[in-house]
A and B are shown apart, each in its own frame.
Chain A
Amino acid sequence: MTGESTDDIVVKIRNLTFSRGNRKIFDGVDIDIQRGKVTAIMGPSGTGKTTLLKIIGGQLKPEMGEILVDGHNVHKIKQKDLYELRKRMGMLFQSGALLTDLNVFDNVAFPLREHTPLSESMIRSLVLLKLEAVGLRAARDLMPSELSGGMARRVAMARAITLDPMMIMYDEPFTGQDPISMGVLVQLIRKLSDALGLTSIVVSHDVAETCEIADYLYIIADGKVIQHGSPDYLYKEGNPWVEQFLRGLPDGPVRFHFPGVGYEEDLFAGALDPTDIDK
């Protein structure tokens, strides 16, 4: 993992610290994302997985720490350079984030029209190529409101690969999907990564689907990396926290009950005072 040569690491996060209000989201997090691999970042809801992607993309600024993407410190480079870097970083938002006033074709063509001087006929060919890759070539005239959740994410995927980026960040790609859509998305992420040689960062809490495609896993909770390694390694390693998360056990290091005063104490706190009964 961290012993890999620097060239193989696309995203290097060191000592990341980030808070929202008084709540510490990340407290000294170190993560390495290897080139050409599917790396999953997992953890319970509210652990800041989406925030992490926004920090990598330069949309949020950390309090402390260093985020290097392909050797560039995301939060120290000029805005112009950050935008250039973003052209090589695709991101798939949880909602798809399709532009609702554009149809499927125009959504996928959007980055090409913004960043390239290509002719419309060339753009058409490229867009159809990308839509074919996600199986939605025939849906190019539909508006985002006419798409199912799974289709919207596939369109967003086609849009994310339009500029042939070096990496794609997937934010909760499987949430709220039916089994067929989920299967399609799982296969697409793996196939796109293999076919295009993409580096993929998948943020998710869907254990089975993510472990199926991930080469490497990071599990984060309480602002820290709890454990990292290959899926097989983590399943076998026996860390009680990881065990609870991966197997979905209701109680363990993460308590079933929300922290608070003891049950007995709480019950008796509201009990009738015996002297009140006489009154």
Chain B
Amino acid sequence: MWVLDKLQAIGKSSLGIFERFGRATIFLFHVLSGIGSLITRPQLLVCQLFFVGVLSLLIILISGLFVGMVLALQGYYILSHFGAEQTLGVMVAASLVRELGPVVSALLFSGRAGSALTAEIGLMRATEQLSGIEMMAVNPIHRIIAPRFWAGVISMPLLASLFSSLGVLGGYFVGVLLLGVDDGAFWSQMQSKLDFYDDVLNGVIKSIIFGFAVTWIAIFEGYDAIPTSEGVSRATTRTVVYSAFAILGLDFVLTALMFGN
């Protein structure tokens, strides 16, 4: 009896997960169908690009700088054992554009912008603003949700690129200016060993996919939140947790597809 109850509970929660994923997919189709309104009114998107992208710049830039500095510091001590400190630039840049740039910036993005999107949409639902918009004969998914979604998808690769760029500069500062790695070797090794398509473009593709996943999770959690303060709080937490799972899981799959033999 106890076993049956447990099995029933597991089955019920599994069905619940599939049902929720189905709703999220239908919701995504509605959001994607709202792209027409953004073409006719691009100012809605520009406004959200500011809130989602520009306001995330500070945390992304500072984090990128420090991650690059730490990478250079750690890399220098290991590479110097083999007399290969001149390849520090390649190590820092490859680590950043292939992995750390897209992954860390997406994790930061989910914490900064993703949680804010969920809370904003959840509160709009709790305070009946979305219902109000609907009763004014305006589709809230097209008017409110779609601009936020596309702003997230567009912002993410730009933020990840800036994260990597600042990281490389941080690596240069520590490696060349503080630890004495040759300036020319730092840049020329990076230039010759990194491939634009294999390394840089794959990193950008990763960040676009992460941006899509994180923003989808954030807007759905906000829209699906129970319209109470506790419900919004839980939805915000779920956004950050699910986003982290999605980013790390997708990263493994994408890395295997892009860089695996």
- Point out residues on A near B: beta carbons under 8 Å: 54, 57, 59, 83-84, 86-87, 89-91, 93-95, 97-100, 110-111, 114-115, 156, 159
Contacts and interface: CB of A to CB of B under 8 A. Distances in A.
Contact of A111 (B127, B129, B134, B136): B136
Contacts, number: 51
A115 B137 contact: yes
Interface string B103-137: 00000000000000000000010011101111111
Contacts of B139: 83
B62 interface: no
A99 B138 CA distance: 13
B129 A83 contact: no
- Top 4 A-B pairs ranked by shortest CB distance? A97-B132, A86-B137, A97-B128, A91-B135
Nearest to A79: B139
B135 A95 contact: no
Contacts of B129: 97-100
A91 B130 CA distance: 13
B193 to A, nearest CB: 48
Interface residues of B, number: 14
Contacts of A95: 127-128
Interface string B137-173: 1110001000000000000000000000000000000
25 contacts: A59-B135, A84-B137, A86-B135, A86-B136, A86-B137, A87-B137, A90-B135, A91-B135, A93-B128, A93-B132, A95-B127, A97-B127, A97-B128, A97-B132, A99-B129, A99-B132, A99-B133, A100-B127, A111-B136, A111-B137, A114-B136, A114-B137, A114-B138, A114-B143, A115-B137
Contacts of B135: 57, 59, 86, 89-91, 93
Chain A, interface SS category: mixed
Contacts of A93: 128, 131-132, 135
A30 B131 CA distance: 25
A115 B134 CA distance: 13
Interface of B: 124, 127-129, 131-139, 143
A57 B137 CA distance: 10
Nearest to B132: A97
Chain B, interface SS category: helix
Contacts of A54: 131
Contacts of A83: 137-139
Nearest to B126: A95
Given A98-B129, A159-B136, 18 more contacts: A84-B137, A86-B136, A86-B137, A87-B137, A89-B135, A93-B131, A93-B135, A97-B127, A97-B128, A98-B132, A99-B132, A100-B127, A100-B129, A111-B136, A111-B138, A114-B137, A115-B138, A156-B132
Nearest to B51: A101
Contacts of B127: 95, 97, 100
Nearest to B144: A99
Contacts of B133: 99
A110 B136 contact: yes
B181 to A, nearest CB: 49
Q: Which of A59, A97, A111, A156 has the most CB of B within 10 A?
A: A97
B137 A59 contact: no
A99 B128 CA distance: 9
A97 B137 contact: no
Nearest to B136: A111
Contacts of A159: 136
Contacts of B136: 86, 110-111, 114, 159
B182 to A, nearest CB: 52
A188 B212 CA distance: 47
B85 to A, nearest CB: 52
A59 B138 contact: no
A156 B135 CA distance: 12
A130 B46 CA distance: 30
A100 B135 CA distance: 17
B131 A97 contact: yes
Contacts of A114: 136-138, 143
A34 B7 CA distance: 55
Contacts of A156: 132
A89 B134 CA distance: 11
A87 B133 CA distance: 11
Contacts of B134: 59, 86
Q: Which of B124, B132, B133, B139 has the most CB of A within 10 A?
A: B132
